[in-house]
Copies of this chain bind each other. A is one copy, B any other.
Amino acid sequence: MDFDLTPTEMPSSGNCPFCYGNESKTPPEILALRDGTPPNTPGWSVRVVPNKYPALMIEGELGRKGVGLYDRMRGIGAHEVIIESPDHHLNLCDMPSAQLEQILLVYQERLRDLMRDPRFKYVLLFKNHGEKAGASLAHPHTQLIATPVTPREVAMELETSKNHHQLKERCLICDLIFQEIESGERIVSIGESYVSYAPFASRFPFEIFFAPRAHCHSYADIPRHEIAGVARGLKDTLQRLKKVLRDPPYNFVLHTSPNVHTFPKRSHYWDTLPFDYHWHIEILPRLTRVAGFEWGTGFYINPTAPEEAALFLREAEPD
């Protein structure tokens, strides 16, 4: 009862550009898993299209320049939408594991493809689920934005990981996962190939950290045989969240290694990067408001202890 869990009505499916049969309402597809049908027609299970209202434009040079003290470059990048299913009403966590596996493989394929473009330092993959989490369409989808700079949040994680690695010769996130499994009090769900837990001193109520147990710096490099296990883990974790909080609005964000080959060989990332990062997904339910304190500090007031959130999530029964 601590949170307002009233579901927000999202526009219904009548005119949805992501629906089966409405393929002509999106820009031409980049990739689709199909049963032999031609592009931009029905017959697909997962479909990737350019965002119709892109935040960044794919064509052009970066044009970096200084403007006095400031730095300027053109808004170059890629902005794509991964339509997760032809079914407008199917929640990602309610899809069969095999469908999730297909989606995760499509994520990987898009990441690999975009990282071939030397203009892109990073590919951010994220999901806005529910109107309060910023979704403008209810149809299940993920977005992807390739950026010509390493995002600030990722750069800070890389720096911390690098420092830890230099000191310990171990991966920071491997160490965190080991400590969480040992203690057990913040674990949400665990399988052979993944673990999810409520992070220590979480920023948000019911925040979840989802990671592969085996060290792997880049999502683009997950071995094929591990994808099925990751898919089952993500489904299990998201289902628990849905059960406990009645399908809350949430954002999830994939954190993965930047496009290492775009860094100059002398950059301080080059030496250690392939060894000291560990891809993961941060799941952020949107239950509380961010206000002056959070904007001013970068600290978060969280009314729900992660140990308590984890207990609720652990005890939930996924389908």
Contact = CB atoms under 8 A, between A and B. Distances in A.
A179 B253 CA distance: 37
29 contacts: A55-B293, A55-B301, A68-B179, A69-B172, A69-B179, A70-B200, A124-B297, A126-B293, A126-B295, A128-B291, A133-B292, A134-B289, A134-B291, A135-B291, A143-B293, A151-B297, A151-B298, A151-B299, A153-B295, A154-B296, A154-B297, A251-B295, A251-B296, A252-B292, A253-B292, A253-B295, A253-B296, A255-B296, A284-B295
A97 B70 CA distance: 34
A64 to B, nearest CB: 14
Most buried by B among A201, A254, A282, A293: A293
Q: Which of A135, A200, A295 has the most CB of B within 10 A?
A: A295
Contacts of A135: 291
Contacts of A153: 295-298
A147 interface: yes
Interface in A281-314: 282, 284, 289-293, 295-299, 301
Contacts of A208: none
A240 interface: no
A247 to B, nearest CB: 17
Binding site secondary structure of chain A: mixed
Nearest to A135: B291
A152 interface: yes
Nearest to A200: B70
Contacts of A299: 147, 151-152
A4 to B, nearest CB: 12
A138 to B, nearest CB: 15
A200 B289 CA distance: 26
Contacts of A179: 68-69
A181 to B, nearest CB: 12
Contacts of A252: 292
B133 A291 contact: yes
Contacts of A201: 70
Interface string A153-179: 110100000000000000010011001
A235 interface: no
Given A69-B175, A126-B296, A255-B296, 12 more contacts: A67-B200, A68-B183, A70-B201, A126-B291, A126-B292, A133-B292, A145-B293, A147-B297, A151-B298, A251-B292, A254-B296, A282-B295
A26 to B, nearest CB: 20
Contacts of A217: none
A254 B293 CA distance: 10
A127 interface: yes
